[in-house]
Amino acid sequence: MASEAPAAEVGAEVEAKPGALLEVASRAQFEELLRLRARSLIVIHFWAPWAPQCTQMNDVMVELAKEHPQVAFVKLEAEAVPEVSEKYEISSVPTFLFFKNMQKVDRLDGAHAPELTRKVECHVSSRVPSRPPGCTKDEFNLRLKKLTNAAPCMLFMKGSPQQPRCGFSKQMVEILNKHNIQFSSFDIFSDEDVRQGLKIYSNWPTFPQLYVSGELIGGLDIVKELAASNELETICPKAPKLEERLKVLINKASVMLFMKGSKQMAKCGFSRQILEILNETGIDFETFDILEDEEVRQGLKAYSNWPTYPQLYVKGELVGGLDIVKELKENGELLPLLRGEA
């Protein structure tokens, strides 16, 4: 488990950042929390600093806070706030209480990380899904249908393939990559309406969820079974070989720039400089962010026999990096080359 993140005081930061725990230090703060977060699920850990199992469970709470940013995860030192502990009959630590709409709805006694995780998932999944204001049920379902069909293989996950935000999503990405499955993804943390609505649309209460041709395949357990039985590769589209993929990418546009960042935001000084030069020419060009795809980042170096970035291609042929582009500009050769006149 990750080490425990600093706890935020309720009065200072009611909406804790993902991975942070709120901390209640008085009865007044406890009651304020229930009132301010009445519409959210609140999980309160009654703990003691002298109990090592409590420290371990605080680490578990940090991980759960990362996976469920819409849930308030709180720690309350049981002996420091006796009025609250007595009211809810806290006789040992660790003890966990679950609150919704200012009412206690569940309880867990003891340091049982799997059971705590299960209970949180259960309460989160039971939430009634919402729709954006002014959006009818049919319109919302049409949006979900389009999302599940956005690519031949679509993974709805917590985070991105580069930065999964839960263990289940990380395992799913690893399996798909191991089997060379070509897939696109959607971060359910980026849209709460999609996150909740997809559970009803697919009749599947948890994430990640994998879709092929718009049809639900299932979650991690099912994908594991398909992989073990060698059925996964027959169901999911396989990614093209790297060399074929690189050929497609460098020919995606007449002028292609492989860089760190994008047209809108370069992420290194060399990429920023070459963007400025290309923008001055007025020639249309496309970019590919090599920081988003490690396979392309490393593979293109060998394919082009060019060890650094940025790399500029015109009609599928490597022109070079920043120094060569600068030289071409100074010699008046860059614009004719980009136009295909050279």
Report the side by side order of strands in the sheet with 72-77. 8-9, 22-24, 72-77, 42-47, 95-100, 103-109
Q: Give dist(CA 193, CA 29) in Å, integer.
A: 30
In this structure, of 3-17, 179-193, 253-267, 292-306, the range with the lowest mean pLDDT score is 3-17
Check pLDDT > 70 for residue 309. Answer: yes
Looking up residue 284, the CATH number of its domain turns out to be 3.40.30.10
Among 192, 210, 235, where does a domain finish?
A: 235
Q: Does residue 102 share a domain with residue 207? A: no
d(CA 181, CA 237): 6
| Residue 68 resides in a domain | yes
pLDDT for 15: 44
Same domain for 229 and 260, yes or no, is no
Alpha-carbon span 282 to 339, nearest angstrom: 10
Range of the domain at 207: 137-235
Please give the average per-residue pLDDT across 2-21, as a whole number: 50
d(C-alpha 215, C-alpha 145), whole Å: 9
Q: Is residue 167 part of a domain?
A: yes
Residue 184, domain member (yes or no): yes
How many structural domains comprise the chain? 3
Q: What is the structure's pLDDT at 329?
A: 95
Q: Provide mean pLDDT across the span 316-333.
A: 95
Residue 16: predicted pLDDT: 44
Looking at residue 233, its amino acid is: E
My answer on whether 249 and 278 are in the same domain is yes
Three-class secondary structure of residue 255 per DSSP: strand
* 183 has pLDDT over 50: yes
